[in-house]
Amino acid sequence: MNKLIVVTGGTQGIGRAVIEKFAAEGFDIATCSRTVKTLEKLEEAMRRTYPTVKCFIKQADLSEKKQVISFCEFVRKLNRPVDVLVNNAGNFLPGEISTEPEGTLERMINANLYSAYNTTRGLLFLMKEKRKGHIFNLCSVASFMAYPNGGSYAISKFALLGFSKCLREEVKAFGIRVTAVMPGATRTESWNGTNLEEERFMRPEDVAETIYSANALSDRSVVEEIIIRPQLGDL
């Protein structure tokens, strides 16, 4: 039986690149997205490109706790060990703390922190039972570097890095690895409309390759944090 990777928000950007990489290496996939149409397109592409790989899809907005619970129940009903969990789902809203719209912090915390927190709580026991697994949390260079117009997004990513550090201390005795991934500017759909040249961005595939390589290490080692930036520097 193939190993199973669970990727939240897996239909585009870094999440999609991670799915493509792990599928190419023979992993089955379980993923979610807010829109059914993108999930169906993903499932079709996986079936066509990787016929020996199973792709399990579930519509869910993980900024809503009830939908996180529903997604975790969906994964548990597969009756499969979860070998890798990639908490990728999230959102970006720029702004200044003093002027951003009311409710922005709550939206960013729900999308970027609570989604990972609740998904991890919903699936972690499967790894504990097996005493093995790897959790990747998609943080950001904004998790450790303050910058203008970062606002509540940066706050939520700082918190996600803290969550990753605390989680690692809790689960390392169970043989579970935790890695915080902190990418710089990556050319995903969130940058559509920009006038910046492609060379100023990282490729999502590069982040996915790095995640796969970290997971491929022996169980005796863990890459605790990954910082990956565009060669020409931050934007």
User: pLDDT value at position 191?
Assistant: 63
Residue 235 lies in a domain: no
Mean pLDDT of 18-36: 98
Residue 233 lies in a domain: no
Please check the confidence at residue 7 and state whether its pLDDT lies above 80: yes
d(Cα 140, Cα 94) in Å, to the nearest integer? 14
Residue 10 lies in a domain: yes
Residue 138 lies in a domain: yes
Q: Which domain holds residue 201?
A: 4-228
Mean pLDDT of 129-150: 95
Long-range contacts of 213-219 (CB under 8 A, 24+ apart): 214/134, 214/136, 214/179, 215/84, 215/134, 215/136, 215/177, 219/132, 219/175, 219/177
Name the 3-class secondary structure at 183: strand
Tell me phi and psi for residue 19, to 5 degrees. Answer: -60, -45
Confidence band for 193, pLDDT divided at 50, 70 and 90: low
The count of structural domains within the chain is 1
Element (H or E) spanning 6, and its range? strand 4-8
User: pLDDT value at position 140?
Assistant: 95
User: pLDDT value at position 32?
Assistant: 98
Asked if 128 and 177 count as a contact pair (C-beta separation under 8 A), the reply is no
**Tens digits of residue pLDDT in 31-66:** 999 999 999 999 999 999 999 999 999 999 999 999
Confidence band for 197, pLDDT divided at 50, 70 and 90: confident
Mean pLDDT of 151-172: 98
**Tens digits of residue pLDDT in 80-114:** 999 999 999 999 999 999 999 999 999 999 999 99
d(Cα 83, Cα 1) in Å, to the nearest integer? 12
User: pLDDT value at position 234?
Assistant: 84
Residue 200 lies in a domain: yes
Question: In whole angstroms, how far apart are CA 127 and each of 15, 170, 182, 214, 224?
Answer: 21, 13, 23, 18, 18
**Tens digits of residue pLDDT in 200-216:** 888 999 999 999 999 99
Residue 234 lies in a domain: no
